[in-house]
Amino acid sequence: MPRFHQSQCPLPATSWLLASTLPFLLIFTGAAIAQSESNPIVFKTDIRPLLETYCFKCHGAGKREGGLRLDHRTSALDGGDSGVILQAGKSSESALMNRLRSADDDLKMPPPGDDNKPLSNAQIALIATWIDQGAAWPLDPADAKLSSDHWAFQSLRDTDVPVVQNAPAVRNEIDSFVLARLEQAEIAPSPRADRFTLIKRLYYDLLGLTPSIEEVDAFVHDNSPQAYDRLIDRLLKSPHFGERWGRHWLDKARYADSDGYEGDRPRPNAWRYRDWVIKAINTDLPFDAFTRQQLAGDLLPEATHDQRLATAFHRQTLTNREGGTDQEQFRNEALFDRVATTGAVWLGLTIGCAQCHSHKYDPISQREYYQFFAFYNNGDETNTAVPTSDKAMTQYQTQMSAWNARTEQLNAELANALNIIEPHAAAWEADLRKRSEASPPEFHTLDFSELTAESSAAFQRLDDGSYLVTGNRPEKDKYSLTVKLDIAQVTGIRIETIPDSSLPGGGAGHADNGNFVLSDLRVYYGGLENPDIEHDRVTIARGRADFSQENYAVVQAFDSDTSSTGWAVAPQMSEPHEAIFTFDTPLERTDDAWCRIVLAQDYGALHTLGRLRISAVTGIDPRDELSPAAWEAFEIARNQRSEAQHNALLTAFAHTQPETRETLKAIAVHQKEEPQVPMMDVRVISQRTTNPRTTHILSRGDFLQPLEAVEPASFQVLHSLKPRSTGRPDRLDLANWLVDSSNPLTPRVAVNHVWSYLFGQGLVTTMNDFGLRGDAPTHPELLDWLANQYRGPLGWSRKALIKRIVSSGTYQQASWHRPELADTDPDNSLLYRQNRFRVEAEIIRDLCLSASGLLARKIGGPSVFPPMPPDVAALSYANNFKWNTSEGSDQYRRGLYTFFKRTAPHPNLTAFDCPDSNTSCVERRYSNTPLQALTTLNNQVFVEAGQALAQRALTDSAKSDEGRIASVFRRCVARPPDSDELAAFTDLLQESRKWYGEHPEEATLLAGKVPKGQPTPETAAWVTVCRIILNMDEFIVRE
Amino acid sequence: MRYSDIQTTRREFFNTTASGMGLAGLGSMLSDDGLLSVQNAQAAETQDPLAARDPHFNPKAKACIFIFMAGAPSHVDLFDPKPKLNELHGKPLPDSLLKNVRFAFLKKETATLMGSNRTFRPHGQSGTEFSDLLPNVGALADDLCVIRSLHSSQFNHHPGQLLMQCGAPRFGLPTLGSWLTYGLGSETRNLPGYVVLTAGRGSSGGATLWQSGFLPSLYAGVLFRNQGEPVLNLKNPAGLPPELQRRGLDVLQNVNRSRFQEIRDPEISSRIASYELAFRMQSAAPELTDLSGETRQTLNMYGIDRPEPEVGDSIGASAAGGTYKSFASNCLLARRMVERGVRFVNIVHASWDHHENLDRQISYNAKMVDQPIAALIQDLKQRGLLDQTMVVWGAEFGRTPLGQNDRADITGRDHHPYAFSMFLSGGGIRGGQAYGESDEVGWGIVKNPVHANDLHATMLHCFGLDHLRLTHRFQGRDFRLTDVGGKVIKELLA
């Protein structure tokens, strides 16, 4: 029973009013000082026997209470959970002495009672003197290295393929290893499974989809000896293979589409890494490169987009955005996760256990943990832009070259036209100068007769003709201002924004900082009755402002894009500003003409106008007819203009000329059609280049309690690290170390993973623990042989390894249980048969969709939102997340594309043991619950699959009930039904048919969408049958 | 993990129990239904990981209702009266206490103590003091054991909630309810053994608060919903009558059974059993959630139809309103579940994160829970169920005696893990006492500190489980609910 340690209670148990407590830390005796230095204490003879007698029982190799070992020099000097226990030369500051001398029974060591003999005062004094003399603890040869004779840490053995008696049963070497063990145990292997089972097994294992009836028939009737091999090759080439095996990897990567923790915000671009995984597996990226890219893609020479993207593997860690969190704490949490995940996925070790204290079972010290941690400590969380997909990039390049060609063509056309009009430019310019001098611009402040706001805002007219907008500040607003316009030849309007002390920040807007965003300006001119119709809309040709905020140019207030962007003025909120909008053609004066000006302010966050004045503009300001560049040229004498200035003015002229206008318009349209580069930001890891962090051992894993500094290094118990350069080793060195030809763990662990997906359990059944507490391999020679093959001849090819395994006779055995062996080998650890196991959550969905023909086979892309009850998403914190159900074919994508929100995952996934993705999962669990039965019986997607299957049955070429039932049955489980099964389903069909014949309304509800002319009750009857077939055990079990 | 591993683990578990296994469950149940031959039933029997089982030693408690007040209510305004705090209102804390202490929002350099506006008075023979916000709960003082000396290592919600539900502030661990159903199985054949009820808005932890972690999802909490069908996918597809569901299931079970006879994989029998349980749940769950059989008196006692105060900006309320009714219904449902053999009911109510407007927020929420919780305890008692049902009220931490000063007006309290309160009742817990003491301002602990591990160890003890022996091996380590700590607090036991 652990005693109450002080460190367990976060604050000293104290009366806070007691200004000074006398902590036990300060109590010490001076007895030891009496020992003279000329009488040095010898560790081996004086101290070690004391430790052995009084301490080893709880702090030895076995128990390691409090994470402390005193029988081993390195471990003892590293200290325990509470940190270092010895301060050489300073006994009074050494935690060990404090505990030996404590008056508090809860702290005193050895603990009083429990048959523990206390140390005498003289013995305590002896230890104190030893510490004061420098705590000399000589190296023991056994201490030099944390070594181990545990099987997993030994090099791969070059194992000979055994010779077996039953040679005909050997399809490849794997079988020799398995048969050798079986023959020893005098157990015969199971016969080869029938062809129906074999094709179903391969489809489930390699693609996670059902084979079609045609595919089954083709294989079953293929008498060639290569039939099975050809099937394997075909499936390994399918793009669905990458989805199936990619999902296995995503389990390990703890992939999700949200941050985790309280806020659990969506990560809308997370899917891009999923696409990387699918592609890497489909292109069979060798496992060593696969490893290097994901752990250190950013450090590869001239890293490509794909290689940088691969580092998103370690960006799947959680992000805590809860208010008031210490970001450094959660940066460390993410690093702990990266270390633990690397250990679990590549090494099959629980190295996370050494975070707070040296590992209790495996030879990994806490110091080594932080040396390993140091590799990751300088990998920063950053974003980088990558192509949204290879396909999109190729498309873009094609489109771009077409677009460039068109640009050249248009430019040539324009150049020709300009040549034609150029001689007339001077006359046009002189005319513009003359007109503007004859009628200079004038501004007529408008006094509106009607002012309304979409909010409850009120308009107060001030003496200067401006309006102050008062009332509750709405998030967004739209002002509608109407005036009878009795002015001739209005060429545009001017909006002045006027700062006001009554407004936030003394600006002209209502935002907290005084800003506003005018997102859309519309002017209508015509009869009053209904001035809002498009007919009366006045085209605004040009706008200019005395000042515009970066990225908030005035043009955005009247362009065709009606989104929330617009004209804003930060950081000059406290200055007055004006914007002048010029109409396409001046407004003709009529007798009863009304003008309505509508100012939309859709940006949100209170960015609405607070004080403004609007004037009608008459007369001509050349600036309003010219682009800024042309205006600049206009002000300069003709002969002093640069070529650019000349061209700017010529272009302005060209806008007024019919010969060139169309071309310019075409160019403007064309420019808007420039293809967008299909790039997107993704989360990656990038090596920190400035201020690299120093890594410290953290006492008890607490980032607030750093101990001594450490440098990146690998584990002593394994092969040595070979850095690429003499500097500090980095993540790429670590990745190289993991796939180094001397690493005994990585190939064994990787092979074991692949094996487990094909047999339902690994050769090492403790998938995540190859350490001392894990199980020994059932077939150690086979494991090493496969590991050697994978790393050597197979060149780390995942597909080649899978092919080797599924080609074996061992894999092809029937999976029927053999009750006579239930006592000898209940777990089938000798592999005398294949295993039967339920498929994963995503695959259950995929099987249903593929059998029923509903599956949308698109590979990759953003996550989708299949139907889900709204209250499930609402369960996450503050209901901050809307599940916008996908439409169309996106409702029927494979399960791995379902958006995964960590605090509220889709219930169809969790019901079938889908991992929570908060930590790496190298092995799924398989439970068998009533909620699963309810899901496949009643959930929408499964009912829809039943309906779709019913449609397929009713349009099947077979006309009899039996024939059609057999078709449905075969679509689901590949084999034809036997006569009992056929009879049972036929009975069900007939009863249902009768019932729905009498209950047409219910039939309509169950049948789903029924094609014209097809009787609904008949459809409904088929649905009842099809959904039961979809619920057969055999359907969701890999047999 | 393969199913057989789970079985192996189960065997390990039973090998460590003194009394061996009590297998009431599945096999006989299937025989009842005439679904399996005796021989097959035996095969299936060994497979049922939810069969009710005997614990390590004689239990007091059989069921637990954990009322989880996510967000963390203020202990100094509900359970832990601090006259000194009021006296020192506006004064700073000594530096020595603030050293090495971190907060979520509070600026400790300028923080000052904030007195409580509540009045406390002693209740019952035991004289335990409760705040005026809990008149009904207070009236039951003699049945309640208030702990005033809890402490936690976590000051952010989600990690703190994980610590309280799973024993450590980490992901991937089973929750308390998972451990109990893993250790004891389920007493009900028609309902899940571990049920979750929520009211109002979602909690920080979401579904991680009822996860089964490294245990199979069989031991995860099953969420009962407040709208629509009580359990997801409970209803037959539209247009499918119960008789055809039954008929279809009969065909399915026959097909699966003949497959079993051929292949002899016991997993098939488990699947057959799961479908039967699912079918029974289809009628049992709606029956459970149908309150029409309860008397008006009972409904009134729980306050199901109490008028709900203006929602306003109350953080506990759902935007749609009706949270008072949901919470009261959840308390009544919890009793009905316990009556029907549910092992663990987790009522999650996330509304106690009162960084500002403490007085208004805590009044709204305390009023919401006081009457229904008191009714639940009384109701259990009068039905003779309290002795074997443990009711626990608590949260992930408490709130600072300091006012939260990072905003204009100091009207709320920040997260405070160094001392906080909970209460327990029934199920082998000795009522009528207050255990442990915080210091004079409710800051640190001066007597009998209690960690979540200690609380869990004590709770398991009442269920007849030794927290050191209820283990599950995962990644080479024998995990337990109490992580690396925990001691049974004898003083809490009846």
Domain boundaries, chain B: 3-54+234-282, 63-231+319-492
Q: What is the mean pLDDT of residues A187-209?
A: 98
Whether residue A426 is contained in a domain is answered as no
Which of A545-559, A943-957, B262-276 has the highest average model confidence (pLDDT)? Answer: A943-957
Nearest 5°: phi and psi at B56? -70, -35
How far is Cα A639 from Cα A431, in angstroms, rounded to an integer? Answer: 18
B474's enclosing H/E stretch is strand B471-474
- Band of residue A533 on the pLDDT scale cut at 50, 70, 90: low
* A745-759 and A239-252 helices, crossing angle to 10°: 120
The CA distance from A977 to the nearest CA of chain B, in Å, is 10
Q: Is A979 on the interface with B (CB under 8 A)?
A: no
Q: What is the DSSP string of A2-45?
A: ----GGGSSS-S--TT-S----GGG----GGGGS-TTSPPPIII
The CA distance from B403 to the nearest CA of chain A, in Å, is 15
Closest CA to A242 of A895, A917, A860: A860
- Does A10 contact B278 at a Cβ distance shorter than 8 Å? no
Identity of the residue in A325, A826, A1034 whose CB atom sits nearest the CB atom of B4:
A826
User: Which residues in chain A are closer than 8 Å to B444, comparing Cβ atoms?
Assistant: 11-14, 16
Residue of B nearest to A993 (CA): B244
Pair A384, A478 in one domain: no
Q: What is the mean pLDDT of chain A?
A: 88
Nearest 5°: phi and psi at B209? -80, -5
- Does B225 contact A761 at a Cβ distance shorter than 8 Å? no
The whole-number pLDDT of residue A898 equals: 97
User: Which residues in chain A are closer than 8 Å to B152, comparing Cβ atoms?
Assistant: 10
Which residues make Cβ contacts (< 8 Å) with residue A548, sequence separation at least 6? A554, A567, A568, A569
Residue located via tokens 């192509």 = A387
The CA distance from A750 to the nearest CA of chain B, in Å, is 17
- Does B232 contact A924 at a Cβ distance shorter than 8 Å? no
Identity of the residue in B203, B216, B447 whose CB atom sits nearest the CB atom of A877:
B203
- Kindly provide the residue ranges of all beta strands, DSSP E only, lying in A113-238, ordered along the sequence: none
Which residues make Cβ contacts (< 8 Å) with residue A507, sequence separation at least 6? A499, A500, A513, A514, A515, A516, A573, A574, A610
- Does A13 contact B449 at a Cβ distance shorter than 8 Å? yes
Interface test with B, best of A875, A1009, A1010, A1032 (most B CBs within 10 A): A875
- Does B267 contact A771 at a Cβ distance shorter than 8 Å? no
The CA distance from B406 to the nearest CA of chain A, in Å, is 11
Q: Which residue(s) pair with A685 in the sheet?
A: A381
The whole-number pLDDT of residue B320 equals: 58
Residue of A nearest to B416 (CA): A10
Peptide bond into A239 cis (omega under 30): no
Peptide bond into A571 cis (omega under 30): yes
How far is Cα B76 from Cα B116, in angstroms, rounded to an integer? Answer: 7
The whole-number pLDDT of residue B421 equals: 98
User: Which residues in chain A are closer than 8 Å to B414, comparing Cβ atoms?
Assistant: 324
Whether residue A384 is contained in a domain is answered as yes
The whole-number pLDDT of residue A832 equals: 97
Whether residue A313 is contained in a domain is answered as yes
Identity of the residue in B207, B243, B264 whose CB atom sits nearest the CB atom of A817:
B264
- Band of residue A880 on the pLDDT scale cut at 50, 70, 90: low
Calculate ∠ Cα A767-A770-A774, nearest 5°: 80
- Does B444 contact A14 at a Cβ distance shorter than 8 Å? yes
Residue of A nearest to B414 (CA): A324
pLDDT over 80 (residue A959): yes
- Band of residue A10 on the pLDDT scale cut at 50, 70, 90: very low
User: Which residues in chain A are closer than 8 Å to B156, comparing Cβ atoms?
Assistant: 262, 320, 322, 324-325
How far is Cα B210 from Cα B68, in angstroms, rounded to an integer? Answer: 11
The whole-number pLDDT of residue A879 equals: 58
How far is Cα B31 from Cα B38, in angstroms, rounded to an integer? Answer: 7
The CA distance from B239 to the nearest CA of chain A, in Å, is 4
- Does A10 contact B417 at a Cβ distance shorter than 8 Å? yes
Q: Is A983 on the interface with B (CB under 8 A)?
A: no
Q: Is A871 on the interface with B (CB under 8 A)?
A: yes
The whole-number pLDDT of residue A927 equals: 82
- Does A262 contact B236 at a Cβ distance shorter than 8 Å? no
Which of A143, A159, A177 represents a domain boundary (last residue)? A143
pTM of the model: 0.79
User: Which residues in chain B are closer than 8 Å to A318, comparing Cβ atoms?
Assistant: 171
Which of A720, A742, A764 represents a domain boundary (last residue)? A742
The CA distance from A877 to the nearest CA of chain B, in Å, is 4
Residues of chain B with pLDDT under 50: 1-46
- Kindly provide the residue ranges of all beta strands, DSSP E only, lying in B152-286, ordered along the sequence: 194-199, 222-224
Pair A577, A450 in one domain: yes
Which of A114, A143, A172 represents a domain boundary (last residue)? A143
Nearest 5°: phi and psi at A798? -65, -45
SS3 A470: strand
Pair A478, A615 in one domain: yes
The whole-number pLDDT of residue A831 equals: 97
pLDDT over 80 (residue A354): yes
The whole-number pLDDT of residue B313 equals: 64
Whether residue A627 is contained in a domain is answered as no
Pair A108, A22 in one domain: yes
Pair A384, A456 in one domain: no
pLDDT over 60 (residue A12): no
pLDDT over 60 (residue A525): yes
Check if CATH label 3.40.720.10 holds for domain B63-231+319-492.
Answer: yes
Identity of the residue in A916, A933, A992 whose CB atom sits nearest the CB atom of B171:
A916
- Does B245 contact A937 at a Cβ distance shorter than 8 Å? yes
User: Which residues in chain A are closer than 8 Å to B278, comparing Cβ atoms?
Assistant: 930-931, 933-934, 937
How far is Cα A116 from Cα A105, in angstroms, rounded to an integer? Answer: 13
| Lowest-pLDDT choice from A180-189, A866-875, B306-315 | B306-315
pLDDT over 80 (residue A140): no
- At A782-808, the pLDDT tens digits run 999 999 999 999 999 999 999 999 999
pLDDT over 80 (residue A141): no
Q: How many domains does chain A have?
A: 4
Interface test with B, best of A200, A749, A757, A877 (most B CBs within 10 A): A877
| CATH number of the domain encompassing residue A486 | 2.60.120
- Does B487 contact A4 at a Cβ distance shorter than 8 Å? yes
Residues of A (664-723) whose Cβ lies below 8 Å from B? 704
Interface test with B, best of A264, A829, A925, A968 (most B CBs within 10 A): A925
The CA distance from A383 to the nearest CA of chain B, in Å, is 26
Calculate ∠ Cα A165-A168-A172, nearest 5°: 95
Q: What number of C-beta contacts closer than 8 Å exist between A and B?
A: 318
Interface test with A, best of B151, B158, B198, B236 (most A CBs within 10 A): B158
| Contact in structure between A747 and A798 (CB atoms under 8 Å) | no
Q: What is the mean pLDDT of residues A613-627?
A: 84
Pair A492, A610 in one domain: yes
User: Which residues in chain B are closer than 8 Å to A765, comparing Cβ atoms?
Assistant: 2, 5
Which residues make Cβ contacts (< 8 Å) with residue A666, sequence separation at least 6? A410
How far is Cα A8 from Cα A12, in angstroms, rounded to an integer? Answer: 10
Query: How many CB atoms within 10 Å of residue A637?
Result: 6
Pair A385, A449 in one domain: no
Identity of the residue in A981, A1024, A1033 whose CB atom sits nearest the CB atom of B240:
A1024
Q: Is A224 on the interface with B (CB under 8 A)?
A: no
**Beta strands A467-470 and A837-838: pairing type?**
unpaired
Whether residue A344 is contained in a domain is answered as yes
Residue of B nearest to A1017 (CA): B239
User: Which residues in chain B are closer than 8 Å to A363, comparing Cβ atoms?
Assistant: none
Range of the domain at A996: 938-1038
Which residues make Cβ contacts (< 8 Å) with residue B353, sequence separation at least 6? B71, B72, B157, B315
How far is Cα A377 from Cα A709, in angstroms, rounded to an integer? Answer: 12
The whole-number pLDDT of residue A475 equals: 83
- At A357-415, the pLDDT tens digits run 878 788 898 999 999 999 999 999 999 999 999 999 999 999 999 999 999 999 888 88
Pair A327, A471 in one domain: no
